[in-house]
């Protein structure tokens, strides 16, 4: 299963503020009950949004909340992936390459029974929709 989350789905800094309460509510909703059926225990959470919108902050908090509930969780962050792959190409081709790497790694980890939390700008709707269709 894939849950594609956009920072703007939950927080609009200008109109609603960006308080810890809203982040806590999001995390509690996303975690679900600990005793859920085995086939629903793993999921890919994909945070998208503009740079500086809070994707990584939310992803780190979600990862911690899931780990506290006993889930095996990996957080894939866009900046980390760029460093890991030595991809400093911010052209459309370079961005596609980075997003594809994140998608492939997330899918592999998910298939191995690990909950994956991704925080990545992901500016291309086509790639996001394509990946959601595989979930």
**How many domains does one find in the chain?**
1
Which residue is catalytic, options 6, 15, 91, 122?
122
Q: What is the pLDDT of residue 31?
A: 46
pLDDT confidence bin for 4, thresholds 50/70/90 = very low
Average pLDDT along the chain: 72
Residues 81-107: what's their mean pLDDT? 84
The alpha carbon dihedral of 6, 9, 15, 21 has a sign of: negative
Angle subtended at Cα 11 by Cα 4 and Cα 91, rounded to the nearest 5 degrees: 55
pLDDT surpassing 60 at residue 113? yes
Residue 6 annotated in active site: no
> What is the enclosing helix (H) or strand (E) of 116?
strand 115-119
CATH of the domain at 29: 3.40.50.300
The whole-number average pLDDT for the span 29-38 is 46
Q: What is the pLDDT of residues 43-81, one digit of tens each?
A: 889 888 888 888 899 999 999 988 888 889 999 998 888
2-6 sheet: strands from edge to edge = 2-6, 44-48, 115-119, 73-77
Host domain of residue 9: 2-134
Look at 35 and 62; give whichever has higher pLDDT: 62
pTM (predicted TM-score): 0.67
Residue 32 in tokens: 């679900």
* Helices assigned H by DSSP within 1-135: 7-10, 13-16, 20-31, 55-68, 78-84, 92-111, 125-134
Half-sphere exposure for 123 (CA within 13 Å, toward CB): 10
């Amino acid at each position: 299963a894939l849950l594609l989350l956009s920072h703007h789905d939950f927080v609009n800094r200008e109109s609603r503020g960006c308080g810890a309460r809203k982040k806590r509510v999001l995390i509690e909703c996303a975690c679900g009950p600990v005793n859920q059926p085995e086939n629903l225990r793993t999921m890919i959470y994909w945070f998208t949004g503009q740079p500086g919108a809070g994707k990584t902050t939310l992803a780190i908090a979600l990862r911690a909340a899931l780990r506290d509930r006993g889930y095996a969780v990996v957080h894939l962050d866009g900046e980390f992936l760029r460093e890991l792959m030595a991809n400093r190409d911010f052209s459309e081709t370079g961005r596609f390459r980075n997003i594809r790497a994140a998608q492939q790694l997330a899918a592999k980890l998910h298939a191995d029974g690990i909950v994956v939390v991704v925080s990545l700008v992901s500016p291309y709707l086509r790639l996001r929709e394509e990946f959601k269709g595989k979930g």
